[in-house]
Structure 1
Amino acid sequence: MNRILSGLQNTFVRIILTLSLVAIAFLLSAVFGYGNSFQAQAEPLTPEATQYQVNSKDSPFRENEQEKVNLLFQENKQPQTASKSTQEIGEAISKPAKTVKQNIESAAGNVREKLNLDQPLYPGTES
């Protein structure tokens, strides 16, 4: 009976070690990322290959898509005026920030006045 139990324990230990080594190998391959690092980064050398590039000058796809993009840009280039309710909401949101800014500026003015920060430095303290 002891032989059977020790044999099962040895088998379980081997299985656990094997699975953990496989898991470590997968994690290391994911960490070092061998996925897209081998993608070609060279410019095409033949005229046929340049036609398949979307951003190239000779591409047949560029004209249609680029014209659409240019038209959308021209249409949306002019800024639109906000509606009255949007302007009211914007003013309501910015009003607390303006008052906080004014309070901070007045507090900074009081500190500057009380500490005489506007006075020139005494020449003897300069190094």
Structure 2
Amino acid sequence: MSVDAVLKEAMTLEGAIGAALVDYGSGMTLGEISASKELDLTVAAAGNTEVVRAKMRTMDLLKMNDSIEDILISLGRQYHLIRPLTSRSGNGLFIYLALDRARANLALARHQLRTLADNVEL
């Protein structure tokens, strides 16, 4: 699936507020889509890049030979999911998805985000 198709599909998830494909080397988005004027995906992408980098640094310091499947940030009214891509072409990229906590099914969203991340074609 193309980047645009993946992001549009992510936005069909119940409770989706915004989605972006982010380069965690630069913090820049390669694509984004939002259903909310309040969610600035450019700022969110840059901030969540720091989250991914910090976790990767910590894993390196702990000499963990592992990879990040996803990162969940639970806020009072939202869930924020970060899913690094695992394909060679997706190395250094992650999908960021913001969900309305009251409407989203977290388990289903994580499952569908994994499927989408596995199908991104760059």
Give the structure-1-normalised TM-score. 0.21
Give the structure with the larger helix fraction. Answer: 1
Give the structure with the larger strand fraction. Answer: 2
Report 1 or 2 for greater relative contact order, CA contacts < 8 Å, sequence distance ≥ 6.
2
Larger-gyration structure (1/2) = 1
